[in-house]
Structure 1
């Protein structure tokens, strides 16, 4: 969250670049940043000096953006021009909004030179902000030109610890209190979807517990929707540290929620496989900060997998994965029932250490 705090501090000191590019997947902080600029630059004349443009809208061209940016402010020192869904910086990847594949594109409409000309000498009375949720191509000349003449800010997803602190501060700001374990449970359940989703869950919790001195983990469990993946995390967490009863309770809860056994096995297998891969990559010298990219998962999932690997050990993880694979085949052929089979596997996993896997029949 340092990038956001740094941006806020710059605004408060009056250090404002003429051009910004906001990119990255943390949409909530992007919106908060835009609100900060509005409040700071346009305290009393927003209607006259604010233009918000849809970059993917019909007729939106670079020439239109430049023309608005070159207008002089009316009865104020600054104008603010915001271009949302700016399409000129896209690279290959997946859209953070839709998840669809995004091909590299260049909606320059033949006026790229006009863009460069403006960036070389931007209007000192306008703050121009480009916003995108899609992957950006840092090699593009336009990207580098904004880096040179203004500021590029990557709104990265927050780390789990940062989200926990954010939740605690949100409650504190509202005159309420949430226990750290409750905040952690809330983040584990919903943090992967970003602060926008977490904000909504915080508001829901505040409404539910409006008369309580402190929100507890039990309150979170009653109000917050724990998704399938989070339940799987919990089952594996409990299994690898030997909390058999809690792991089995998690399995039964998934069945109560009508999750198909085959789907539960698939998700459990995926998590054990990620744990094995995470530990192997770190042993090979992969920095932990690059783990998510190498595994192709969210940072939260990568850190969870590595933590589970360190608590369990590679042999126990491989045993669990092999047993789940055999169980899946037996269940599909009608030779085993899901619940007793998974219970037996978790009991065996709980009985063994990393060195005596082969003693289990």
Structure 2
């Protein structure tokens, strides 16, 4: 997507684009860049059109594409929901003259930019139309970004606000913000305003200004426990309670975190890499990266004991044997004691 954005910014347009995938933020970003760079504000009213292909025949949109632009050089068309590129069956919907579309793909109008927007996880690669578009159109796959892609996206986003961001700060922001591009975009804007134009966002700024998620706070909490900094660990826990986080939810996330740590350690032992583990467990590579870091702090036997402890804590909460907030507190002390035994 960033390669496509670079060419759009340089006014290097293709007559055909196919944007597909479920990461809506990336699709919207591409649409905005096309609108900004292809048409002026006054041309949009005359030379921009959008069509929902679940409601309008594709040949209607193509006729519009073949019409010469008015008071401008280009026409820009967004064609939504091209379900005929998928294996999905639509009954009772509009019928499309797909042969005309095939002919258009082979010889698109030089004055038009036609953008197919398919917010589907995957397309049917067996279909002739899909193959034609993949051959003749510029393809933008809007999928969840991998680690290095996400770092690159953060850096690119920061540059739009005329600031720089160090690699360390970008990695820390990605760790705190996860893969939610809308949230990350908002955080980058806030950091850019704080840093000021032509300045650099550093690790300290990110740590001070970016709100930590519940999962991130719990990761930090576990880190404090294994480093035998119980005062800091308990402070994080009490702060979460003050924010009205439910002890049962905190325990559930703790269990999920240690389950991921245990699974990552087991798969590492079998020779799996970070990306392979993420794919196998169907979690983002950043979560695996953090889990691998904590996996190095525990023996496999320790992790088995911790999972047993968490199961016992869950039972105590659900049977009301102890006040819920005390159950988590006792688990943290038991975890600290277990780590002291490992160090001794």
Is the pair's TM-score, using the shorter chain for normalization, greater than 0.5? yes
TM-score (norm 2): 0.79
Aligned counterparts, 1:1-361, within 5 A: 3-4=1-2, 6-11=3-8, 15-43=12-40, 45-56=43-54, 59-90=55-86, 104-106=88-90, 109-141=95-127, 142-160=129-147, 163=150, 167=154, 174=161, 184-194=171-181, 196-205=182-191, 224-240=210-226, 243-336=229-322, 337-353=326-342
Aligned pair in 2 of structure 1 residues 73, 272: CA closer, same or farther (>3 Å)?
same
Q: Does the 8 Å CA contact 1:239/1:349 hold for their aligned counterparts?
A: no
Could you tell me which runs of 5 or more consecutive residues in structure 2 were left unpaired when the two chains were aligned.
Answer: none
How far, CA to CA, are the matches of 1:214 and 1:120 in structure 2?
47
Aligned pair in 2 of structure 1 residues 215, 70: CA closer, same or farther (>3 Å)?
closer
Aligned pair in 2 of structure 1 residues 246, 137: CA closer, same or farther (>3 Å)?
farther
Once superposed, which parts of structure 1, at least 4 consecutive aligned residues long, lie more than 6 Å away?
177-181, 208-211, 213-219
Q: Does the 8 Å CA contact 1:24/1:133 hold for their aligned counterparts?
A: yes
How far, CA to CA, are the matches of 2:82 and 2:263 in structure 1?
37
Larger displacement relative to structure 2 (311-320 or 201-210): 201-210
Q: Does the 8 Å CA contact 1:21/1:146 hold for their aligned counterparts?
A: yes
Could you tell me which runs of 5 or more consecutive residues in structure 1 were left unpaired when the two chains were aligned.
Answer: 92-103, 357-361
SS in 2 for 1:192: coil
Q: Does the 8 Å CA contact 1:49/1:78 hold for their aligned counterparts?
A: yes
Q: CA deviation at 1:178?
A: 6.6
TM-score (norm 1): 0.76
Root-mean-square deviation (CA), in Å?
3.6
Q: Does the 8 Å CA contact 2:59/2:96 hold for their aligned counterparts?
A: no
Q: CA deviation at 1:206?
A: 5.0
Q: CA deviation at 1:268?
A: 0.8
How far, CA to CA, are the matches of 1:293 and 1:124 in structure 2?
42
Aligned pair in 2 of structure 1 residues 118, 177: CA closer, same or farther (>3 Å)?
closer
Q: CA deviation at 1:21?
A: 1.2
Aligned pair in 2 of structure 1 residues 61, 242: CA closer, same or farther (>3 Å)?
farther
Deviations 1:164-189, CA, capped at 9 Å, x for gaps:
56556655654667777665554333
How far, CA to CA, are the matches of 1:240 and 1:85 in structure 2?
50
Aligned pair in 2 of structure 1 residues 72, 227: CA closer, same or farther (>3 Å)?
same
Q: CA deviation at 1:128?
A: 1.0
How far, CA to CA, are the matches of 2:12 and 2:152 in structure 1?
27
SS in 2 for 1:308: helix
User: 1:100 maps to which residue?
Assistant: none
